[in-house]
Amino acid sequence: MAADALPVLACACASLRRAARAVTQLYEAELRVTGLRVSQLTLLQALQRMGSSPQSALGELLALDATTLSRTLRPLARAGWIRATRGHDRRETRWSLTAAGRRRFARARAPWERAQARLRTRLRPEHWKLLVEDLALVAGAARRA
């Protein structure tokens, strides 16, 4: 199994980016049938989880720059999968899933789980934990460093 590894890079950033590229390609391939990009599914997952939430809160959860987020949300709204409402503070935009968005999200579930499984079965159990738990620590650390 370790024979399949790519060479270790000295740079932590390069290591992360390389892994992100490789894993993204795997997920995009599985998600292709859904018509959703990884970035879009990630946003639907975040909204499913958070319910109605301000745009800025989505950006913090995903460590996404506000401008990137702004442009990624737009096509989801155009497709009718998410809906914007205005809060008391009228600068603020709150987003929530529409019924169509929930359906779309449900239809993407099986392909997403195939991607998760495809990767997971290739890894030792502790590496899965690394991905989903320890990287949450790393992301938080980098944000505040």
Q: Assess 144 for contact with DNA (CB under 7 A).
A: no
Helix (H, G, I), strand (E, B) or coil at 95: strand
Nearer to its own copies, 15 or 85 (CB): 15
Q: What angle do CA 40, 45, 47 make, to 5 degrees?
A: 95
Residue 113 binding target from DNA, its own copies, none, CB below 5 to 8 Å by type: none
**Which listed residue (31, 73, 108, 115) binds DNA by CB under 7 A?**
73
Helix (H) or strand (E) holding 22: helix 12-31
Q: Does 45 bind DNA (CB under 7 A)?
A: no
Query: Is residue 93 part of the contact set for DNA (CB under 7 A)?
Result: yes
Q: Dihedral through CA 54, CA 58, CA 64, CA 67, nearest 10?
A: -30
Question: CA 99, CA 143: separation in Å to the nearest integer?
Answer: 34
- Amino acid sitting at position 70: S
Given 35, 56, 124, 140, the residue binding DNA (CB under 7 A): 56
88 binds, among its own copies, DNA, none (CB under 5 to 8 A by kind): DNA
Q: Which is nearer to its own copies, 42 or 93 (CB)?
A: 42
